[in-house]
Structures are given as C-alpha cells and as structure tokens.
C-alpha cells in the first residue's frame, strides 16, 4: 500500500502542490512562492540543493519529505536535515509520516550522518507529540535566527 520513492523531475507540479498544501496547513500560504522552475533548479540541477521523497498510498500521492545535508563542526560529519515533511490530511493515520522518518533515518545512517534533525512550529502540538513518541528530543536551548529579504540584502552590503 505504501511506496516511498525519490522524486523525479516529472513530479515538479506534484511537489509544488504538496508544498502549497503544507504552507496552507502551517498558515503560511502568503509566504509560499515556490515555482516549478525554482524547484527544478533546486532539486534536479547538476548540483542539487536538496532532495525530495514522495510517499504514495495505493498509488496516490499522499505526502512528501524535502531534505538536505548539513554539517556538524563538533563531530566533523554531515547530518541530514529534514526541511519539510507533509502528509495530506486524507492519508493521515496510516503510518506514512513514521515510515518516511524511518526511511530518512536509514538513509542518514547509510550516508554516515551523525544526526538527523528538523524544526517544528511551536504551535503544532500534534507534530510535537508525534516526534517525541518517536524518540526525538526538542533542542530547547537553541534559538533559530533568520535573516531574509531586505535584512539579508542590508547585511550583505559592503
């Protein structure tokens, strides 16, 4: 019933649609500007910035995971960072999210990664409880900082 596979360039419209569904769920639709062209460059160019998995349930696209490698200076090994995991509401409660995380954990181990990390919105209590049930621990001593838009341009100015 469940099939987890690497995304193909022919999946670009599906990936964008899943990203839009995720943005809607996270109440961030007005921040979502993904295009097929930008995704093609990011995922399927000569030097991809990220990778994507598609989860299918009985042949239907049920969700996706988008991930990339980061690096830990302290252990001098790369890690696997899950940028986004989303399962469409009608496919939830079938173990798809758990299966995708297990798939990514196996991938991280096979690639010699020291860790597997992701972020979750602080209001997303169902996701937080789900991740804790899998053995994930919140890194409460860390605060994420971001510079984007004009603040990024200003910071980069000479």
C-alpha distances in Å from residue 102, one per residue of 99, 123, 125, 157:
5, 24, 21, 43
C-alpha distances in Å from residue 33, one per residue of 19, 37, 108:
10, 11, 29
Query: Is residue 131 among the annotated active site residues?
Result: yes
Number of domains in the chain: 1
Q: Is 114 exposed, middle or buried (0-12, 13-18, 19+ CB in 10 A)?
A: middle
Q: Which long-range contacts (CB under 8 A, 24 or more apart) does 18-21 make?
A: 18/61, 18/63, 18/64, 18/86, 18/88, 19/64, 19/66, 19/84, 19/86, 21/86, 21/88
CATH number, domain containing residue 107: 3.40.630.30
pLDDT digits (tens, 9 = 90+) for 15-24: 999 999 999 9
Task: Please state, as a whole number, how many other Cβ atoms lie within 10 Å of the Cβ of residue 44.
Answer: 16
> What's the confidence (pLDDT) of residue 134?
93
Average pLDDT for runs of 10 along the chain of length 158: 97 98 95 96 97 98 98 97 97 96 98 96 92 94 92 96
Q: d(Cα 83, Cα 156) in Å, to the nearest integer? A: 24
Domain containing 44: what range?
Answer: 2-156
Which residue among 66, 111, 131, 157 is the active-site one?
131
Cβ-Cβ contacts under 8 Å for 29 (sequence gap 6 or more): 20, 23
pTM exceeds 0.85, yes or no: yes
Chain-wide mean pLDDT for the chain? 96
> What's the confidence (pLDDT) of residue 15?
98
């Amino acid at each position: 019933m469940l099939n987890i596979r690497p995304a193909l360039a022919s999946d670009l419209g599906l990936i964008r649609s899943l990203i839009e569904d995720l943005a809607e769920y996270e109440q961030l639709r007005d921040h979502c500007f993904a295009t097929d062209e930008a995704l093609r460059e990011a995922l399927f160019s000569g030097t991809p910035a990220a990778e994507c998995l598609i989860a299918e349930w009985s042949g239907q696209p049920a969700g996706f995971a988008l991930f990339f490698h980061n690096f830990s200076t302290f252990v001098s090994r790369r890690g696997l960072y899950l940028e986004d995991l989303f399962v469409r509401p009608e496919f939830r409660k079938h173990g798809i999210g758990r299966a995708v995380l297990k798939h990514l954990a196996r991938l991280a181990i096979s690639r010699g990664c020291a860790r597997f990390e992701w972020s979750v919105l602080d209001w997303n209590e169902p996701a937080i409880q789900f991740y804790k049930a899998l053995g994930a621990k919140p890194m409460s001593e860390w605060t994420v900082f971001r510079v984007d838009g004009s603040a990024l341009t200003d910071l980069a100015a000479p």
